[in-house]
Structure formats: C-alpha cells, structure tokens
A and B are shown apart, each in its own frame.
Chain A
Amino acid sequence: MTNSTSQAEIVRQSLKRRYRKERRFRAYGITAIALAITALVVLFSDIISKGHTGFLKTTVTLEVTFDPEIMYLEDATDPAQIRNADYLAPLMAALKREFPEVSGRSGERALKGLLNSYSSSEVKDLVVANPAVMGTTQTLTFVASDDVDVFVKHRDDSSYSLKLTEEQQAWTLALMERGVIDTSFNDVFFTHGDSRDPGHAGVLGAIVGSLLTMAVTLLLSFPIGVAAAIYLEEFAPQNRLTDFIEVNINNLAAVPSIIFGLLGLAIFINLFGMPRSVPVVGGLVLMLMTLPTIIISSRAAIKSVPPSIREAAEGIGASKMQVVLHHVLPLAMPGMLTGSIIGMAQALGETAPLLLIGMVAFIVDVPDGFFSSATVLPVQIFLWAGSPELGFIERASAAIMVLLTFLISMNALAIWLRKRLERRW
C-alpha cells in the first residue's frame, strides 16, 4: 500500500493525544469508585463517631441517707405516707454534702441539674419495695442527667453545644475527680425499652419488636415464596395468567415500600380492623414486600439445577412433584435460603411502611407477643433521630450500629451459606 507509511505516521502522531484521553477516562473511573467508597467510609465513621459513646453511660454514685425528717415523713412505716414522701430531698442532701459551699435557691437548682429527673422516682420505687431502708444510708448509683452525660462525654469536642453552666461544669469535673461521677458500660441501653429520658432509653423493646415482626415475615414469606417459585418454574403452563403473574411479581419488586404501608393501612387495619402498631400487621406488610425478592431469587436457584437431574429422576418414573420435592428443592435450597436471608435483611432495615401502620408510637414496655404494641429497630432510630436531645442522637447512632451489626451478620451468614453449600455443576 503506497500511503500506508504516511498513515502509520498519522496514527503515531495521534497516539499522545489518545493516550491522554485514555488516562483521563481511567481517572474518571477510579474517581467514581473512590467517591463511592469515600461516601461509605464517611457514612460509617460518622455513625461510629456519633454513636460509640452511646454504649457508655454516665452515672452518679451518692451516699443517700433516708432521713424521714427531710422527706416530710411523719410515720416511716405508713405505706401511704411513704408513697407520697419527698424523694428528691435525700438526693439533694447527698449532693450538697459534696458541695457544702452551695446555698440559695438558684444554687440548689443548679445542683439539681446534675441529677436525672428519673432518679427520685427510682429512689421511691426502691423504698416502696423495701421500707426497711428508711433511716439508713445507702450507696446508690443513678444515671446522670442528659446534660451531664453530654458534658462528660464530649467536653473536648467543640461541635457539641453544652447545656451545663460553667458552675455546673466545674462541679461535674470535681465530682469526676472524686469518683462520684463515672462512666461505665451502658447496660441500660440493652435492657430497656424506650424512654423520655435518653439515659433510660434502650433498644431492647425495639429489638424484640423487630424479632417478632421478622418472625411473622419469615414464617409467611419463605414458604409462600418458595411455593410460588416452584409453581412458576416447574408447573406453570405457558399462558396469559402465568405471564400476568410474572409481570406482577417483577413490578411488585420495584414498587416503593411506602405503597405497601398504604396497603397495610387500608386493608389490614381499616378493612379487617386489625390493631395498629402490632408485629403481626407489620410482619404481614413486610411479608408482602419481601415476597417478590424471595420468589425471584428462589426461581433463579431452581433454574440453576441442571435438567439432567430432573430427567434422571423422571426416567425412573418419579412424578413431577416427586422430582421437585425430592431432587430439585434440596439442591436449590442453599440459593433459596441465601435469597431469603437477603430479603429478610431488607425487611429488617425497612421503615417507611411501618410508619403508616402505626408502629411509630412511643412504647416503653418490651412487647410480649405478636399482638402487643411494638416498634422496630429502624423506627426507633427514626424516632430518636428526630429528638432535640443530644443524648437521643447518640443513642440513635448506637442503635444504628446495633442494626448494622444485625444486617452485616445476616449478610455474612448468607455469604457463608452460599460458599458452604454452593454446588458447581
């Protein structure tokens, strides 16, 4: 070719420019991945930095003397009087012993700010349960007030606005040195339900609520999903009805979750008159929501079983149902389980539909059954995230960590299952 040398020359000259473009394109790709991973890292570190202190509680340990006199008790043996006694007084007395110099109404009010408003009722419960403590001195540990808690945990962090006055801050520091104020592992967080006070709020109620809801979801969606997948893969005739079912499943998988909440509200609650805020209704709604996911992944698992297995079983005279139940189902089970666990993880993190069916109520008690009012972990996070108190924000972050731990373990389980039981054909 006569001009091929000159063409080779043209190609050579264009190379520099083209490789610059190539490098730029690669850089875009790397930047995109870096951005995505940065977002992930920022998200996780933000949650952890906000929430790790939620696993600690600040406590105040006081020598409380139950002096009937300051408690306005005339007869320390009369249960009625004990019920109505002043329980703040002995606490304040104990605090004042730490700071004898404090006097006056404003000083006392400032001191009182160190105590949790729930402390006096805790003392009351103790005394009512055990009137013998009257007149004695007890060493009692209380959860500190939210403001003290924030100050103790975040006094070096300028991004937190501290509500304690400088005087109160000085007292708190002094009490910390004396060991009166201390931090320890926040067991309350794991043993209590919700509360109006961050120091007394915990995730146990929400976790139990989530478990009950998930139990309903799993018990219904796994068998139904697997059965539907078997029908569609193995038995469904090629007709319009089958096509329609498939179109429905594919579309339901992409319907916004909140629509399922509307469905739950209109059908389960308004039409059937089921109670609001209960795990059964939540579970039913989430079941409908996860069903498409489970059906789709189960179908994929059934599809991956090679036809030779089916033919082998049919060849020795097994009925279609026997082929499915004896051969296809056991072989497809790992895939089905994996898909279901992933579907359950989605359901566990779901919030929006549950808001509509009333699982957003303030519930202190740990739910004790499928029909008792409950909330779930993500909704609890939503509720706390909306409160103005810093203590609740911290607990919301801590609850997120608990939720993510559950989700990551479920996904790890799914991966492990897949690795463990996966069969290569």
Chain B
Amino acid sequence: MQPANLLPLIVVLVIIAFVLGYARSRALAAPLGGIKHLKSLPFYYAARAAMWCGLPALLVLACWLGFEGKVIQTLVVGSLPAELQPDSAGKASLVLSQITNVASGALSADFVPPAIVEASTRLTNLQQSSQLMMTLLVVCIAVLGGFLAWLRIAPHVNARVKFETTLRRIFFACAGLAILTTVGIVFSVIFETVRFFGKVPMTEFLFGTSWSPQTAIRADQVGSEGAFGMIPLFVGTLLISAIAMVVAVPVGLMSAIYLAEYASPRMRGIVKPLLEMLAGVPTVVYGFFAALTVAPFISGLAAALGLQASAESALAAGLVMGVMIIPFVSSLSDDVINAVPQSLRDGSLALGATQSETVKKVIFPAALPGIMGGILLAVSRAIGETMIVVMAAGLAANLTANPLDSVTTVTVQIVTLLVGDQEFDSAKTLAAFALGMLLFIVTLALNILALHVVRKYREQYD
C-alpha cells in the first residue's frame, strides 16, 4: 500500500481506537455509578488509546520510509556481480541511476548489461515487498498499541495525567526539532567539507584568487581538478550585496523615517501594504525581472554612455536585490524608530527643534544601534540570496570591483555545482558543500551579531 494511502488508514484506526476506548471507559464506569467514579473523564481514556494506536505506528512508518530507500539500494547494489561492483561513490550513483531508470522504464533494457536488468527486477520486487511489509507492520503496531491501551483502561488509572504528560513530551520534541535542524545543517555541510579539504588544501580554498571548478578536460591534465580559490566568489558576493545595500539602506531607512515621523495615518495605511507587497514577491520573480529587463536596460544604457557593460552585470543583480531588501530594511527600521520613546521627541520639539532636526540629531542617534542590527540582518539576507544572482549574475569568477563587470557569487556556484548530474566524490561537488559551510558560518555570525545588537537596543528602552 502506498504511504499516502496508509496515512488515512492510520487515521481511521486511531478514530476506531478512540471510539472503543470511550465506550469501554463508560462501560467500566456504569457499574460504579457513572463517570464521576473514574479518575479521569472518558475523553482522556479514549484519547490515550488513540494516542497509543497512532503514535508508534506513525513513528515506525516515518522510520521505514526514511531508511527504506537506502537499505534497498544497498541490497540491490550488493547483489550485483563483482565486475559491476562500483569502486567509488560516483560510480555507485551512476549504476544506481541506471538500475532505477530501467526499473521505471525510462531506460530501455536493451542498452544495459543483463546484470543491471536483473538488478532492476530485484529492485522492483524489493520495493513491492518492502511496501507490503511496511503496511503489515504499521497496521499491526497500530492495532496492538490501541488494543493494549484499551485493555489498560481502568477506573483507578489517571488517564488525564498520563495523556497530558505524553502530549507535553510531544510538544517538547516539536520544539527540539529546531535544534535537530541546526544539527542537520551542520552535519550535512561539515562531512563533505572535511572530505573537500582532503582533496583541496584549506589554505587554497580560503586564500586562492582563482575559481574554475569546471576546467578539467582530461584526467591527466595539469590542475585537472580545477582551481578552488573562493576569494573571487566572496568578492563577487560582497560586490553585489554592497550594491544592494546602497539601494536598500537609504531608500528603506528614509521611507521608514517618513512613515514613522511625517506621514498621516491614511498615507501609512496605503504605503505600508505596498512596501509589504514588495517583500512578498518571490525571489524568482525578481530574478526574472533582473535578468530580462534590468540587465539589458543597464547594458544598453552603458553602451549609450560609451561604457562597456557585461550582459550579466553585477549592477543589475545588485539593484534588483536592493529593491527586494527595501521593505526588509524599512520594516525593521520602522520598529526601531517607533521604539524610541515619545518623550525624546517632545523634549527636542519643546526646545524649538524642527522635525528633521529632531529626527537627525535625537531619534536617529538613539535608534542607531537597532538600525545597525537591522542592516546586518539585511546584509546577511543579501549574501544568502540565491535566485536573483543565479538568474541575473554570471558564472565567470572575475575578481573585480567594477559593477558593470560580470561576477559570480557563493550561492550561484552552489547551485551550479549541485544542479544536474553530479559525481558524488568529485572535488567539484564537495566544493559546493564547502561553500555552503562558508555561507552558513558567515550568515550565522551576522545573524547572531544582529540579534544581539537589536536585543541590547530593546533592553535600553524597555
């Protein structure tokens, strides 16, 4: 049975367990003189039965689904004849994709060795039996769990306390998922990064000024692994982010100041949703706009001015990224400016300061730490932004500060290296994870710093 169909089945079983549990608790209560002689309400006995029916079954289902693919793959590959046994992880993924393609019919059986065809039949069989076993196991566990909980319904058991304790543990597990996610992120990048540094020295990666992972043409070529110096990528990322911040910070900050200090409530009511709309536009749309409208416009404009501009200039990507970040800067600044106590405004105005003097000399300095925090968050966002640069910035890793040149960024390279067919062990693929690690560390540092600055600022006025 498909897992998608198995879920509704579990739900049905859970409902049945609930109903039976409810009935049994009432039945037990009846001879005692009604439900007030039970330790808990019938609902809690029923809920407990339902929980014991559903929870273990769902856990087993999740685990099965999680490990099924890997186990079957290992079994299938392991059963291949010796000459077809892959000797590297890259070969393994190649063989595996052949097998799955044959199994799904995407690849005709005529083009592959018979052993592969055999393996693909085995794959199909294993998958079928795995599904059957999974269905049986999950249903058995659900029924058994529900039945045991049903049996244990007794007037002296305080089902409410037990139910609530379990529920609280579930809630805790959900909150703990945040830690698990962070751990997952760290582990998913750290292993591949360590392997990458086994192939390419860390110093070359961190300080090398040339990036060309695609250059290997022949295996025996000098530097066949290409060059993996991340400096040009980092500089490219910073260049585009800097352009974005040049657009976003003044525009976002001035909009926020105007909205907070000058605008009528009516104007605020109109402008704020419009700015929020700018924030709600998906990044792929900005990328489309940057690549197909802004970039040609800029190279046309530069040509008209007698300048040489690349068709994928850093300026185009940066400008559009700046527009994307405007609402981010403005809403964070807005919060911060509104947190400046009104008494400071009154104090300044009562001395005869004009409104702009009050803003420039009192409110802005007072809000500066918070605004800096907001800007740091915006920078972290610009650095991690992917789609705009994937679509509008180039792939050429030029080490330049000229905004009309084409540059590439860390995120662009991660996408380029990982999209499409990959060999899993090559330095190329591993480099993407090393870049991911770099990105994660940089943005994490920025975020922690920014959140710290903002929190300190809030404490100041609380």
- Count residues of A near B (Cβ-Cβ below 8 Å): 92
Determine the distance from Cα of A396 to Cα of B292 in the docked complex, in whole angstroms: 11
Distance from A275 Cβ to chain B, minimum over Cβ atoms (Å): 7
Pick the interface stretch among B196-204, B218-226, B382-390. Answer: B382-390
Q: Per a CB cutoff under 8 Å, which of B2, B187, B278, B292 touches A50?
A: B292
Q: Quick check: is A350 within 8 A (CB to CB) of the other chain?
A: yes
Contact A235 B172 (CB under 8 A): yes
Q: Which residues of A contact B414 (CB under 8 A)?
A: 258, 262, 356
Q: Per a CB cutoff under 8 Å, which of B178, B179, B188, B323 touches A265?
A: B188
Contact A291 B257 (CB under 8 A): no
Q: Quick check: is A211 within 8 A (CB to CB) of the other chain?
A: no
Q: Which of A11, A259, A272 has the most CB of B within 10 A?
A: A259
* Binary interface encoding of chain B residues 437-462 relative to chain A, with 1 for a CB under 8 A from any of its CBs, else 0: 00110011001101100000000000
Determine the distance from Cα of A349 to Cα of B360 in the docked complex, in whole angstroms: 38
Given A37-B274, A231-B171, A352-B415, verify A254-B284 contact (CB < 8 Å).
Answer: no
Q: Which residues of B contact A306 (CB under 8 A)?
A: none
Contact B69 A351 (CB under 8 A): no
Chain B, interface SS category: helix
Residue on B with the closest CB to A255? B443
Determine the distance from Cα of A35 to Cα of B188 in the docked complex, in whole angstroms: 41
Q: Which residues of B contact A370 (CB under 8 A)?
A: 3-4
Residue on A with the closest CB to B173? A227
Q: Which residues of B contact A396 (CB under 8 A)?
A: 288
Chain A, interface SS category: helix
Determine the distance from Cα of A241 to Cα of B138 in the docked complex, in whole angstroms: 33
* Binary interface encoding of chain B residues 363-377 relative to chain A, with 1 for a CB under 8 A from any of its CBs, else 0: 000000000000001
Contact A256 B384 (CB under 8 A): yes
Q: Which residues of B contact A263 (CB under 8 A)?
A: 181, 184-185, 188
Distance from B65 Cβ to chain A, minimum over Cβ atoms (Å): 8
Residue on A with the closest CB to B418? A356
Distance from B252 Cβ to chain A, minimum over Cβ atoms (Å): 8
Distance from B83 Cβ to chain A, minimum over Cβ atoms (Å): 24
Determine the distance from Cα of A388 to Cα of B326 in the docked complex, in whole angstroms: 31
Distance from B182 Cβ to chain A, minimum over Cβ atoms (Å): 5
- Count residues of B near A (Cβ-Cβ below 8 Å): 100
Q: Which residues of A contact B280 (CB under 8 A)?
A: 345, 349, 407-408, 411
Given A254-B380, A255-B384, A378-B282, verify A272-B66 contact (CB < 8 Å).
Answer: yes
Q: Which residues of A contact B356 (CB under 8 A)?
A: 21-22, 25-26
Determine the distance from Cα of A350 to Cα of B283 in the docked complex, in whole angstroms: 7
Contact B323 A39 (CB under 8 A): yes
Q: Which residues of A contact B439 (CB under 8 A)?
A: 256, 258-259
Interfacial residues of chain B within 160-188, with CB under 8 A of chain A in the complex: 160, 164, 167-168, 170-172, 174-179, 181-182, 184-185, 187-188
Q: Which residues of B contact A404 (CB under 8 A)?
A: 281, 285
Distance from B195 Cβ to chain A, minimum over Cβ atoms (Å): 12
Residue on A with the closest CB to B63? A272
Q: Which residues of A contact B447 (CB under 8 A)?
A: 250-251, 254-255
Determine the distance from Cα of A250 to Cα of B444 in the docked complex, in whole angstroms: 10
Q: Which residues of A contact B385 (CB under 8 A)?
A: 256
Q: Which residues of A contact B384 (CB under 8 A)?
A: 255-259
Contact A381 B285 (CB under 8 A): yes
Contact A11 B255 (CB under 8 A): no
Residue on A with the closest CB to B259? A33
Distance from B260 Cβ to chain A, minimum over Cβ atoms (Å): 10
Q: Quick check: is A274 within 8 A (CB to CB) of the other chain?
A: yes
Q: Which residues of B contact A379 (CB under 8 A)?
A: 284
Binding site for B on A (CB under 8 A): 11, 18-19, 21-22, 25-26, 28-33, 35-37, 39-40, 43, 46-47, 50, 223-225, 227-228, 230-232, 235-236, 244-245, 248-252, 254-263, 265-267, 270-275, 288, 291-292, 295, 319-321, 345, 348-352, 355-356, 360, 369-371, 378-379, 381-382, 385-386, 393, 396-397, 400, 403-404, 407-408, 411
12 example contacts (A-B, Cβ-Cβ < 8 A) are as follows A11-B352, A21-B356, A22-B355, A22-B357, A36-B255, A231-B174, A248-B179, A254-B447, A256-B383, A270-B424, A385-B287, A385-B288
Q: Beyond A26-B356, A33-B254, A260-B185: 4 further Cβ-contacts under 8 Å?
A: A235-B171, A255-B447, A382-B391, A385-B391
